[in-house]
A and B are shown apart, each in its own frame.
Chain A
Amino acid sequence: MISQESHGPGESHGPRESAAGPGDAAAPVLQVRDLRKTFQPRGLLNAGQPVVAVDGVSFALAGGSTLAVVGESGSGKTTLARMIMGLEPPTSGSVEFFGRAQPRRMRTRDRRAHARVIQMVFQNPYRSLDPRQSVGAAVEEVLRHHFDLGRQDGRARTAELFDMVRLAHNLLDALPRELSGGQRQRVCIARALATNPRAIVLDEAVAALDVLVQAQVLNLLADVQEQTDVSYLFVTHDLAVVRQIADDVLVMKSGRVVEHGPAGEVLDHPEHPYTRLLRDSVPRPGWKPARRPADDSPTVPA
């Protein structure tokens, strides 16, 4: 069905792919070691006091698995994701894909190879598509940049990707502003899938969507994972979502990892007080939107 399915990062495709090249097939898709990022605030008044956004984060992401990164706003989740994506050079530490370290400053060919391994879906679906480009063209552009496809094949493969994320074909020529938030987020997912990546970073990809669409997109992600064995790094602050989709969870606070382990274990028996706080500050299962959150009596519907 998918003509490029075999073009995994485990195979060599000439000099172009060398930067993220074959690497070690047994190594995890993504390995982050002691990653740190400090921002030096500019400006006259608050100069001097650096902000430590990410502080010594290490983890590994195995093939076909889902790692959730949770933490309050400002805990450094987006900064972590941006460093992994090469959008922000780390202050120190390393990011490895299949055991191969990512260069600190990536040139265009490095980024191109990198895009074949990992993709990102950004936090804001309203701004992550070029407002002047039809959404079909956006996906097709990425496809044809990475694969040697003619116009016809590019078009056909784009339609396949739209099927995969359950978007109607009549939306291919629509501009982003003509789409709903959920539809745009699906376009972004389709675009991320276009390169057949081994991992996708989703930065609060469903946070802006309503509960129903959120559930659809989550199911969609699960289906895609089943089909392609892609790994997810799922940034969220919704613990209910974590329980639903994640294998492992990493809890961040002020740039540090305070807890890391299998999702069920961490959520059921949190060891760190901060995790407990996070868990207790979200609605439990059985909570009804109609009821006020303060109402703590555990009523289970019949």
Chain B
Amino acid sequence: MSALVPARTGPLRGSGGGATVAIRCFGAFAVLLVLLPLCAPLIAPADPNAGDVLSVLQPPSSQHWLGTDASGRDLFSRLVFGSRTALLGPLVVVLIATSVGTALGVLAAWNRGWVDSLIGRLFDLVFSFPSMLLALLFVTVMSPGLFSAALAVSIAFVPAIGRLVRSTALREVNEPYVQALYTQGFGPVRLCVRHVLPNLWPVIVAQVTMSFGYAMVELAGISFLGLGVQDPTADWGAMINTGQGSIVRGFPQESLYSGIVLVLAVVCFLSLGDLLSERRDGGRR
């Protein structure tokens, strides 16, 4: 994920130094967010799933830094471990959606004609399906859980990435350098993989970063509805849901804290994606 802090987009380096600083900051935060689930056992002071009926809904204390939930589980530990599903889900989504979307987008741009039309209609079809509906469909057909939710969101995200890649690749394919290589007798696969794709990287990276943020929201929503990550596994979206019960009893902390970390993480990835794509637009040759 450190590739999200690129220093290589050369042509317009000096311009927008402020943006570069912001990219570094958000990038550093993103790296921390990614390290969090990896180091969770080192950071969390308690077992996130170990409840204690004698200490439910405790206020923050030296023993439970953020208090406990309705089952007496340590909230801080649950937040730390909740980052695992919160980041793993979007990671699966961007991996699937980006590879499928990029492949289809480049395929459409390269072949044009009926291939392009077919892929375009496919995108329209998927796009016209609300992703929540798609997720509902998937969890009913498969079973509720992170993977089926992530698969549904991946499919829902393909059109956005695919369309962006198609339009960028279309411009790239018409560049004389691609045509020159074409007349050299290079095969289409090699040409696309070795020459067209690397030139689309800045666009793809920006889109991936932003999709990561959106996927986080979508997956949290699905988990909030009880269709994604299942109790007792800690997850920010699911915690907002389970915390609801205690809000009316005057203990908003579980929903509040998980909501806050979710928003912070999403804002980080969206802003990073935004900054990256802004720089890319400004840095076009």
Contacts and interface: CB of A to CB of B under 8 A. Distances in A.
Interface of A: 85-87, 108-109, 111-115, 119-120, 122-124, 127-133, 142, 145-146, 177, 188, 191, 195
Interface stretch (B82-90, B129-137, B181-189, B233-241): B181-189
B140 to A, nearest CB: 44
A120 B195 contact: no
A119 B183 CA distance: 7
A142 to B, nearest CB: 5
Nearest to A142: B184
Interface string B45-74: 000000000000000000000000000000
What 3 pairs between A and B have smallest CB-CB spacing?
A112-B185, A111-B185, A128-B176
Contacts of A127: 175-177
Interface of B: 10-11, 175-177, 179-188, 195, 198-199, 285
Given A122-B176, A127-B176, A128-B177, A114 B199 contact: no
B198 A86 contact: no
Max chain A CB contacts within 10 Å: which of B180, B195, B285?
Answer: B180
14 contacts: A87-B182, A108-B185, A111-B185, A112-B184, A115-B185, A123-B176, A127-B177, A128-B177, A129-B177, A130-B199, A145-B185, A177-B10, A191-B180, A195-B184
Contacts of B285: 131, 177
A177 B11 contact: yes
A108 B182 CA distance: 9
Contact of B179 (A115, A122, A145): A122
A52 B181 CA distance: 27
A120 B183 contact: yes
Contacts of B181: 130
B188 A108 contact: yes
Given A124-B176, A127-B176, A132 B184 contact: no
Contacts of A145: 184-186
A129 B177 CA distance: 5
